[in-house]
């Protein structure tokens, strides 16, 4: 059985790359991503697009400007070959007023329902702690 190459629409590519559709389209306009495959209502993206998107994101996380990313991509250098300050990208979730959870961007978040359970637990727990301190 022959395996088929992955095909993604813009929403799927954006989700897999951890960016918005708007960002994918911006990267396309800026020439940071290759043009989609197919035409008209059927444009799609392949694994090469996803790899390139992840490379661009990694270089941005390292603090590179778009001009430096263009240069690195044009010279065929990957993010590891470019010297830049090391930065970490995090997703910030507000669980309760004054309480945030920071999760490294390379860690997969649980489904929204589980996050809602965590937020509820945090609101209840920290409300109880605050009420105890006031007594």
pLDDT in tens, 37-49: 877 677 889 899 9
Contact residues for 79 (Cβ-Cβ < 8 A; gap 6+)? 55, 58, 59, 62, 72
- Calculate what percentage of the chain has a pLDDT beyond 70: 79
pLDDT digits (tens, 9 = 90+) for 88-100: 677 888 888 888 8
Over range 97-125, report the average pLDDT. Answer: 87
CATH among 1.10.1140.10, 3.30.2130.10, 1.10.1660.10, 3.30.230.70 for 10-81 = 1.10.1660.10
Query: Has this prediction a pTM greater than 0.95?
Result: no
Residues 6+ positions from 6 with CB-CB distance below 8 Å? 46, 47, 50
Domain with CATH 1.10.1660.10 in the chain: 10-81
* pLDDT, tens digit (0-9, with 9 covering 90-100), for 68-81: 898 888 887 555 44
């Amino acid at each position: 059985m022959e395996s088929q190459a992955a095909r993604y629409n813009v929403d799927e590519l954006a989700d897999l790359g951890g960016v918005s559709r708007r960002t994918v389209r911006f990267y396309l306009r800026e020439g940071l991503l290759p043009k989609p495959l197919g035409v008209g209502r059927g444009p799609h993206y392949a694994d090469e697009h996803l790899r390139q998107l992840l490379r661009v994101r990694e270089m941005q996380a390292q603090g590179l400007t778009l001009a430096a990313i263009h240069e690195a991509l044009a010279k065929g250098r990957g993010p590891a070959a470019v010297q830049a300050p090391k930065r970490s990208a995090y997703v910030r979730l507000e669980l309760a007023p004054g309480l945030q959870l920071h999760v490294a961007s390379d860690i997969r978040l649980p489904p929204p329902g589980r996050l809602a359970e965590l937020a509820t637990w945090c609101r209840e727990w920290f409300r109880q702690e605050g009420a105890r301190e006031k007594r």
